[in-house]
Structures are given as structure tokens and as C-alpha cells.
A and B are shown apart, each in its own frame.
Chain A
């Protein structure tokens, strides 16, 4: 969907992005991960030409992005940022309708789309459609921001640390939301973050950047289980790699069916990390598991957590 070849960008003489080669696959959830100053944001903004590259080539849908009018290009890509940037003088519905209006959609089509998106992002249209941004909480504002980015059904969604300014609870809720939207719609997403857990939880493809170069890329499992350099090892955290690996797998994958135990159960879509926490907190070595409907599904053994790590390799 998007291909970078030998792309460089300089700011005041120093390289922000250095001869970058990168392929963003169709339908992938690609996360550009790195510390501040690693060039990840610059890389993202070169896709929709908010930043113009100095060297190399970036292709979108097979054509060099420079062959598009910047505005046409951007209208085909959704864009959400950390500071949200809602237009304070427009209502929620008008904000979401920004790009459909730019594209000249009919009123009815726009209204239907706004309604659909607000529902998808769990903003009750009856309550929120006519509010102004200053009347919303931070989390609600970012929901509107994401809805606005998705409004005209863009071919790709670009997000620059969209959840960076939110409190942990709201952030987790929105992460779940965006993961669900990605799975449901199969849309290509490119997201920038410095939060490793966010990347591990959402990405199908992680690109770990450092000083304008790609340090390592691959699936979350590949990054965690085979760090390619000391930098990667430090970044993913030497001491808690194991815990993070557990976070990549679900209880359902390791439940032993047939056994039924009494007591407070785990949910089958919990991660193994959450299961570990429950084992330690309750000082037991096996726990009952129920599925999403609440029916007993079996038990999880403490020893299976270690097997799970083993399987992962």
C-alpha cells in the first residue's frame, strides 16, 4: 500500500530520517515505535506530505505521492493526532463531517456516515452530535478525532500518538476500540507511538526506529522473542520481556477443556499476563475459565504459562 525507498529528511542539516526503506502492507496495523527524536513522526508525516521528503521515493497505491495534489492525497488518508485538533467553533457532527464536506458528499450521505461513526466509536449521537469540543472530556474528544479521520472511508488511517495525552483507563478503552475497528474493517493503519505496550497490543507489524533508521521490524512476537540488537533489547525491557510475551497471548489458547473448578473465573479473552496476575494474587496454581457468554470453558494451569512461552519460541 505504501512503500518507502531510500527516503531521507534533514532538519537544519541533521538527518531526521536516514535512507529509510519500508513497506506498509495492505490491511496491516503498522506501528512506528521509538523514542522521541527517532524520526517516527517525520516518517508518518511524509506519507501525507505534511512534511516533504528530501531524498528517495514514497509510493502510495503504486504512484509517487508527489504526483498527487497534497490535498487530494490527504483526503484519501485519515489523520488523527495526539492534540486531537478538533475545530473548537464547530459541533461534533460538523467536525466529523469535515472531509465528506470537502469531497462534496450529499447532506443525507454525510449525516448517515456521521451517525454510523459516532455509534461505532460509542458516542451517543443524540447526546453528543450538537456539542462543542470544549464540552467533551479528553477521551471523548479523541473519539471524535478518530471518527473525523475515518469519516470519508479513507484507504489508510494515519495516527500520530493518538492516545498519548489520555489517562491510562481511557487510553486502554480507546486502544481496544481502535483494535476492534481495525479487525472489523480490515483498514490499513499506520500509527506512531513511544508506548511499547500499546504497540504490542495493537500492531500486526512493528517498526522500531532509532535515530532516523529502522532498528528492527517484524510481528510483536518476533520483536520480543528475537531482539536484533542491544538497543532493541533495552527498548523492550530486559527484565520484563517474559511478562510482555505473556501479554501477546490469550487464555483461550491454553485452556484445558473438561476440567471444571469452583471460584472466581478468568475470561477466555484475558491475556496470559492478566492470568499470571490472578495466579499470584490468589496464590493458586489453577483457575477456572469462562467464555465470553459466561459458560464454563475449562481451567488454566499455572505451568501452562511457561509452556506458552516455550510454544511462542
Chain B
């Protein structure tokens, strides 16, 4: 709510920013409306995170099945090394290779966002008590039933934590994606930095920061709802 209000109301704050920065002719970023930038930003994060969740969770499941288990150490090594890559680096390499604009940003965000989700899925499935699995099997549940009704619900809080990390990182990286020509809430920041217009920078930074905090809070709430069976105070 506060986020939307700020995005809509930013132009009204013109007098405030001109009071703070009297030397600026145009104290409010006007190339695009803040609502458009916010929506574009959210679209980019969703557009990369949704496929990343599907791929990451899918791969995590595959690597814990009997036929995929052999590949697990290898993938874990690859993921560990992948995470030492800064997200900006992925973005910076993707742009010249794929071309500038939204596409390289989406691909970079997707690739980088995969890693925490995959890790979360692997860690989450590892928390499923072996006894629950054995009991489910012993009671006659099918393999698929065990996955959908026992393993995934039990792993869900940890998987969600992975998705949370991934989305928060992607919100930040999407802001930097304006350096490769994608329109996001990072655009005012970059324009402001290169044009020495601190007001633009603050406007963009406020909205990006707020978006990340709002998203984080939403995940916090979802995590609490998911983990209700564990009792209080065990959120990861």
C-alpha cells in the first residue's frame, strides 16, 4: 500500500525535492511515470522468478530421486561456484552476448535466481524425516503421493526461504538491469548518478528499497502460514 502510494504520489513531492535540491531544474524524474517503472520492475522480477522457481524446484526434486541422485554432488559443486559469481557479473556478461534490453536482464536474473531456489529445494527435501518417508511407504502411499503429500509440504518452508532469497536478489539486480537498457526502478538511479541529479537517485532508491522490503514482508507472512505445524519460533 505504502509502496503504491509512494509510486503514485512521487510527483506531488516535487516541492519537497526542490526545497532539498534548489539547484536542480527538474527535481522529479519524469521520463516515465513511477507507476510504470514499478510495474515494469515487478514484471521483470516475476518474469524471471516464476520460471526460476519451476526449474529450480524441478531440478531439486530430480536430484533427490533415485535416478538423479548420482548427479547431486556435481550439481551442488556447480551451484556453489555459481554463487561466487556476483549477480552483476552475470548481467554484464549476458548483455553483450545477447544484446541490450529486457532479454539479457531476464535471462541473467533467471539463471542467477535458480541457484538459491535449487539450494533451498535440496535443503528442504533433506529436512523431511526419514521416518515419515518410511512410514508413508509402509502405509502404501505411491511414490508420487509421497512427493506431493509428504515431501513437498514438509520441505515447503525451506523451499520458500530459497525463493525469498532469490526474489530479493532479483529485485536488486533488476534495478541494475537499467544499465543494460531495461526500464526498471533502477532507471532514475542510473540517470541520476550519471547526471548528478541526487533527487532522481533518492526517488528510485526509495522505491526499490521499499519494494524489496514489502516483498520480504510478504514472504515472511507466507512462511509463517506455511510453518504453522511446527509451532512458533522455528522460522528458518
Contacts and interface: CB of A to CB of B under 8 A. Distances in A.
Asked if A and B form a direct contact in the complex, defined as CB atoms under 8 angstroms apart, the reply is: yes
Given A71-B140, A102-B140, 4 more contacts: A81-B135, A85-B129, A90-B229, A98-B141
Contacts of B194: none
B66 interface: no
Given A132-B231, A134-B229, A86 B135 contact: yes
A71 B141 contact: yes
B221 interface: no
Contacts of B154: 87-89
Contacts of B5: none
B142 interface: yes
A84 B229 contact: no
A81 B140 contact: no
B150 interface: yes
Contacts of B135: 79, 81, 84-87, 145, 148
A85 B134 contact: yes
Given A71-B141, A71-B142, A84 B131 contact: yes
A135 to B, nearest CB: 7
Using C-beta atoms within 8 Å of the partner chain, give the interface range for chain A: 20 to 34
B138 A102 contact: no
B191 interface: no
Interface in B103-162: 129-142, 145, 150, 153-154
A87 B134 CA distance: 11
Interface of B: 129-142, 145, 150, 153-154, 229-231
A71 B143 CA distance: 9
A88 B139 contact: no
Secondary structure of the B contact surface, majority rule: helix
B134 A132 contact: no
Contacts of A86: 132, 135
Given A102-B145, A132-B229, A134-B230, A87 B132 contact: yes
B136 A87 contact: yes
A89 B139 contact: no
A75 interface: yes
Contacts of B141: 71, 98, 102
A98 B229 CA distance: 17
A85 B136 contact: yes
Residue among A85, A86, A102 with the highest chain B CB neighbour number at 10 A: A85
A162 B179 CA distance: 63
B49 to A, nearest CB: 25
- Which of B139, B145, B150 gathers the greatest number of chain A CB atoms within 10 Å? B139
B138 A79 contact: yes
A89 B140 contact: no
B223 to A, nearest CB: 14
